């Protein structure tokens, strides 16, 4: 049996290839939208892609099922009650698929979504006993799937489904069964996933806190609260996966724009995302642009900040950065990428067009301001949990998610200094506020980490 886990950095997604070189066939499970990795495996290992399986209708990334079908003619397989608008081959509880010496058994595992499935995998060259369990989004390493994404009206039902799947259905399987989830650290489909890509059922039973509740009532209480903020992109991604993602060849052509053309597109309402690092953006940037720089969770922050249906323009430092950003955006269904500024920010500057800057304060300058009693507004944009674990004296907590949702009350003529853990989120927040008329906003270089390491007092 051939088995390979493929990681999608940033989104924390895992997809899988299971096949049999002797039979010349393979199956792809939960594919990402850019499918070249699977096509390369198919060619290099001499295995035809015969099926693609989505364990559920994903909320955090666009499925590559339609892309693979267009390239290979493979069947798309989903659980029989999956609420999608396109043609698929239905899978039933207990159904078995055989791919040469690999066997897959369908297990209906609702909880993250009502129509989710997991796959029991057997390598017949080793025996008839299942070797691993591909759990989709119902069970992760050190976490379980969040039940709230299908809406508040079904939350209680989904929590009950989670309990039945994890505590009742999975109880029949041995501790030795290996667990391979559809997500790891970085995903917003859970709350505290490990960076480890796999586990065993026995280890999770002993050490995963979400599998150690002694009563359904206690489990229900925990699963009814404190979910990560839901990005703007999730609803759009669910709709895209429900209707079947458009093929990437239908997306707008890549365009390298001169400043005149770039500005012309801006005037039609296109959103400008500047992907440079915080310091470069602070030096000078296009007025009204948003600073969302490259980091592992880039796609999640774009999903929080920008409407998925927006037309998007990019400020990058190279064509390679544009290609990287384009792939990241396509993975979360942001297809209206009009192009990028040819020559980067320097081309804009030398064209004589206006620029803004974003002042960056150091921990030392902030301390001096406080020592001198200067009138400043210090805003902590971290989550409430981070805030309660320690904060800079005098700060108020308005999370980035709340700022992006407009849930704040800040005077637009005051001097605001924003900080997060390391400076990334505060730059997003500051650029967003600057775009919306807050002229005197600044970001704290290095954020709370720099403040802490500078040796200043910590307020808890």
Catalytic residues: 420
**Do residues 18 and 27 make contact, with C-beta atoms less than 8 angstroms apart?**
yes
Residues linked to residue 19 through DSSP beta bridges, in sequence order: 2, 26
Contacts of 221 (CB under 8 A, 6+ apart): none
Q: How deeply is 42 buried, as exposed, middle or buried, from its count of CB atoms within 10 A (0-12, 13-18, 19+)?
A: buried
**In whole angstroms, what is the distance from residue 229 CA to residue 316 CA?**
28
Label the pairing between strands 96-99 and 2-8: unpaired
Q: Which residue has the tokens 């895992």?
A: 14
Residue 65 structure tokens: 């099922």
Neighbours of 410 (CB within 10 A): 15
Sheet of 441-444: strand order equals 360-361, 441-444, 416-419, 377-380, 396-397
- Pick from 420, 411, 412, 413: which is nearest to 443 by CA? 420
- Pick from 5, 330, 324: which is nearest to 179 by CA? 5
**In whole angstroms, what is the distance from residue 389 CA to residue 458 CA?**
10
Contacts of 63 (CB under 8 A, 6+ apart): 30, 31, 33, 54, 241, 245
């Amino acid at each position: 049996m051939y088995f390979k886990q493929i990681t999608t950095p940033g989104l924390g997604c895992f997809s899988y290839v299971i096949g049999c070189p002797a039979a010349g066939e393979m199956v792809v499970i939960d594919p990402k939208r850019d499918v070249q990795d699977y096509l390369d495996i198919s060619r290099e290992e001499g295995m035809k892609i015969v099926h693609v399986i989505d364990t559920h209708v994903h909320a955090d990334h666009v499925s590559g099922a339609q892309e693979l079908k267009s390239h290979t003619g493979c069947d798309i397989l989903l659980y029989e009650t999956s609420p999608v608008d396109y043609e698929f081959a239905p899978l039933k509880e207990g159904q078995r698929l055989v791919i040469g010496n690999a066997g897959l058994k369908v297990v209906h595992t609702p909880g993250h979504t009502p129509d989710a499935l997991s796959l029991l995998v057997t390598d017949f060259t080793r025996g008839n006993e299942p070797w691993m369990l591909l759990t989709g989004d119902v069970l992760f390493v050190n976490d379980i799937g969040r039940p709230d994404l299908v809406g508040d009206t079904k939350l209680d039902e989904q929590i009950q489904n989670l309990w039945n799947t994890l505590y009742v259905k999975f109880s029949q399987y041995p501790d030795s069964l290996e667990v391979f989830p559809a997500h790891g650290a970085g995903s917003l489909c859970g709350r505290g996933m490990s960076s480890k890509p796999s586990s065993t059922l026995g280890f999770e039973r002993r050490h995963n806190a979400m599998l150690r509740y002694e009563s359904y009532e206690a489990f229900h209480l925990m699963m009814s609260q404190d979910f990560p903020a839901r990005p703007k992109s999730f609803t759009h991604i669910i709709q895209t996966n429900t209707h079947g993602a458009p093929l990437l060849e239908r997306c707008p052509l890549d365009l390298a724009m001169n400043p005149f053309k770039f500005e012309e597109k801006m005037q039609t309402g296109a959103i400008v995302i500047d992907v440079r690092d915080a310091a470069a953006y602070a030096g000078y940037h296009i007025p009204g642009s948003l600073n969302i720089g490259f980091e592992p969770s880039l796609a999640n922050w774009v999903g929080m900040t920008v409407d998925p249906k927006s037309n998007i323009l990019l400020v990058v430092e190279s064509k390679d950065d544009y290609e990287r950003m384009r792939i990241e955006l396509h993975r979360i269904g942001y297809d209206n990428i009009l192009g990028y500024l040819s020559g980067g920010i320097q081309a804009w500057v030398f064209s004589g067009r206006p620029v803004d800057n974003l002042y960056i304060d150091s921990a030392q300058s902030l301390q001096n301001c406080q020592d001198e009693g200067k009138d400043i507004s210090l805003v902590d944009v971290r989550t409430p949990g981070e805030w309660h674990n320690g904060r800079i004296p005098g700060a108020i907590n308005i999370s980035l998610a709340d700022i992006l949702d407009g849930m704040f009350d800040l005077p637009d003529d005051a001097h605001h200094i924003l900080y997060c853990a390391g400076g990334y989120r505060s730059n997003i927040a500051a650029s967003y506020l600057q775009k919306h008329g807050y002229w005197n906003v600044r970001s704290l270089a290095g954020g709370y980490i720099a403040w802490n390491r500078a040796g200043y007092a910590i307020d808890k």
